Structure 1
Amino acid sequence: MRTPHMNQHFLNHLDHLESEAVHIFREVAGEFERPVILFSGGKDSVVMLHLALKAFAPAPLPFALLHVDTGHNFPEVLDYRDETVGRIGARLHVAKVQDYIDDGRLRERPDGTRNPLQTVPLLDAIEQGRFDAVFGGGRRDEEKARAKERVFSLRDAFGAWDPRRQRPELWDLYNGRHSPGEHVRVFPLSNWTELDVWRYIERERIALPSLYYAHERDVFQRDGMWLTAGDWGGPRDSEPVEARVVRYRTVGDMSCTGAVESEAADVGGVILEVAASRITERGATRADDRLSEAAMEDRKKQGYF
């Protein structure tokens, strides 16, 4: 049982994380000319947007939003994205992987997964929008490569990340200096955990897409994960579709984002489930991170989030 003293300690922890993120948003607003927020409708980008709105309230959000649409996103998430953008009156830029496949700039992968294909549309959108700072919702607890990245992460003129060029960030001092053509990726949630995110969602009463909570869905099993059927290439003849009660810990390309069996139908249930888990959400439900031990780091070096 949590004592009043523990409750106070926990609230202070969330307050500290919130204060740090707000400071980062305001620092970027004062230091860069054309920042943009990556917003997909996933839980981390939703929390990041909530924090950005808090940082500048009652003024409107001073940044545009950017989404790289794989063409295989969950409809529920796209509906949430569009409703949110309309409600807050934000400007949304959408870079579509499908456009690049249609005109031959990218090729469909044999496995149907489009997550690795997001890099080129992302870099093109950054260049075309002349964005010099790009907010992402990455957290250090998600994956080994993300654990190496600073809050301000310098990217070169080709959008590439070099771990050796990471800058020290002592006493919350951030160095956004960059040369023409370079830009900086900024991660306000770097020091958050998945449990922190859900505790904050509970505290702030933040609405999320419905697929984050337990619901019945037709799924099939591939490589130990429950995937949703779709025109991306699943299921195969040998993969029977079953109705299961599941939820998603993370959302992305439908071809590589698995569901987990769950009875957590509300925020409280999810918090209990996440607190008991010993596997990160990407490790448990993202097939694209299983390609190799260094899959994420290799993609980041090419310009990925």
Structure 2
Amino acid sequence: MTIEQSTPTTPSLGGTPTTPSLHDGEQFSTLDALESEAIHIFREVAGEFERPVILFSGGKDSTVLLHVAIKAFWPAPVPFSLLHVDTGHNLPEVLAFRDEVVARHNLRLHVASVEDYLADGRLTERADGVRNPLQTVPLLDAINDHRFDAVFGGGRRDEERSRAKERIFSLRNAFGQWDPKRQRPELWNLYNGKHAPGEHVRVFPLSNWTELDVWRYIAREQVLLPGIYYAHERDVFERDGMWMTPGPWGGPRDGEELQRLSVRYRTVGDGSTTGAVLSDAADNDAVLAEVAASRLTERGATRGDDRVSEAAMEDRKREGYF
């Protein structure tokens, strides 16, 4: 997959040049409003904080986040570096796409490796082999080591109930923990970035977007994504109602039959806990139709780590997770 050259006046992560969002006679659309809000948030953070960073995994939400950041500061370069917490169980297509985007836009990428923490004993492998929960310590260490005071994430309120009640500027204490009682009101698009030494703020410019908004934006802006977001044939096996792919994380187990099926991923995470969905949606129009008809969020449908309990995500956020 290649990311081709964009025109000088219209920055894009897409494969063909984009055009400005509004044309003569067009009305201001919902997508325009969401993009405008996100651009405003990026610029607010640039003005208020000293060392922001963008969490970037190569997934669809972080790719859209980076696309908006590029538009927010064009023609200047993005004034933030990128941070990825690599579990070692990421799908190879996503890592290749991540590196290609970084090289294409001459960005600086920091990688916090869960593998390194397991190798030197700072973390211990879980019995179930899932590594998503192990991301918290490397993430917080990277934030402290690089003195990041604002951390952009691609979280959206429609994904999960604990994210639904999180502010766009989410204050985290010196231990990276989230306390809902300390969150500040955000009236009239005014954001309070004040924080004590050692604290930082997680920032979610896509908070008010839905999964459908993200895909409509991807289609409109021609944003390129890893190919696994579109239907492709893959060896998968069924586990807990999800279609999993074999990899260094293991599987299939006894009784789990490997099958070659047409699938796609709605979200990307640890390969040991993120499933694919059966799909023939091979392009943006087909994905849009599929998402519009879905009654489950992408995390609820394909993320096993969110099924541990109803409060699984909130418990992890209190520990310092994304």
Same topology, TM > 0.5? yes
- Partner residue of 2:145? 128
Q: Distance in 1 between matches of 2:241 and 2:37?
A: 38
- Partner residue of 1:5? none
Alignment of 1:9-28 (within 5 A): 12-28=29-45
SS of equivalent to 2:90 = coil
SS of equivalent to 2:188 = helix
SS of equivalent to 2:135 = helix
Q: Distance in 1 between matches of 2:50 and 2:240?
A: 45
What is the letter of the counterpart of residue 85 of structure 1? V
SS of equivalent to 1:243 = strand
Q: TM-score, normalised by structure 1?
A: 0.96
Is 2:206 the counterpart of 1:194?
no
- Partner residue of 1:252? 269
Pick the aligned partner of 2:166 from 149, 153, 159: 149
Alignment of 1:170-209 (within 5 A): 170-209=187-226
Flag the 1:78–1:11 CA change in 2: closer, same or farther, 3 A: farther
Q: Distance in 1 between matches of 2:215 and 2:27?
A: 13
Q: Distance in 2 between matches of 1:12 and 1:286?
A: 31
Pick the aligned partner of 2:104 from 87, 91, 114: 87
Q: Using the TM superposition, give the Cα deviation of residue 237 of structure 1 relative to its aligned residue in structure 2, in angstroms.
A: 2.2
SS of equivalent to 1:252 = coil
Aligned length: 298
Computed over aligned residues only, the root mean square deviation of the Cα atoms, in angstroms, reads 1.0
What is the letter of the counterpart of residue 271 of structure 2? M
- Partner residue of 1:67? 84
What is the letter of the counterpart of residue 169 of structure 1? E
More displaced, 47-56 or 229-238?
Answer: 229-238
- Partner residue of 2:70? 53
Q: Using the TM superposition, give the Cα deviation of residue 235 of structure 1 relative to its aligned residue in structure 2, in angstroms.
A: 1.2
Q: TM-score, normalised by structure 2?
A: 0.91
Is 2:308 the counterpart of 1:278?
no
SS of equivalent to 1:296 = helix
What is the letter of the counterpart of residue 213 of structure 1? Y
Q: Distance in 2 between matches of 1:10 and 1:217?
A: 42
What is the letter of the counterpart of residue 220 of structure 1? F
Q: Distance in 1 between matches of 2:159 and 2:185?
A: 21
What is the letter of the counterpart of residue 286 of structure 2? G
Q: Deviations over 1:127-154 (max 9, x none)?
A: 0010000000000000000001000000
Q: Using the TM superposition, give the Cα deviation of residue 184 of structure 1 relative to its aligned residue in structure 2, in angstroms.
A: 0.1
Q: Deviations over 1:73-109 (max 9, x none)?
A: 0000000000000000000000000000111111111
SS of equivalent to 1:84 = helix
Q: Distance in 1 between matches of 2:274 and 2:248?
A: 15
Q: Distance in 2 between matches of 1:83 and 1:95?
A: 18
- Partner residue of 2:233? 216
- % identity of equivalent residues: 76
SS of equivalent to 1:246 = strand
- Partner residue of 1:31? 48
Q: Using the TM superposition, give the Cα deviation of residue 11 of structure 1 relative to its aligned residue in structure 2, in angstroms.
A: 5.8
Is 2:302 the counterpart of 1:300?
no
SS of equivalent to 1:80 = helix
What is the letter of the counterpart of residue 121 of structure 2? G
Q: Distance in 1 between matches of 2:198 and 2:252?
A: 43
Q: Deviations over 1:277-298 (max 9, x none)?
A: 0100000000000001100000
- The structure in which a higher percent of residues are helix is 1
Q: Distance in 1 between matches of 2:246 and 2:27?
A: 40
Q: Using the TM superposition, give the Cα deviation of residue 233 of structure 1 relative to its aligned residue in structure 2, in angstroms.
A: 2.1
Unaligned runs of 5+ in 1: 1-7
SS of equivalent to 1:83 = helix
What is the letter of the counterpart of residue 293 of structure 2? A
SS of equivalent to 1:265 = coil
Unaligned runs of 5+ in 2: 1-24
- Partner residue of 2:285? 268
What is the letter of the counterpart of residue 194 of structure 2? R
SS of equivalent to 2:29 = helix
- Partner residue of 1:4? none
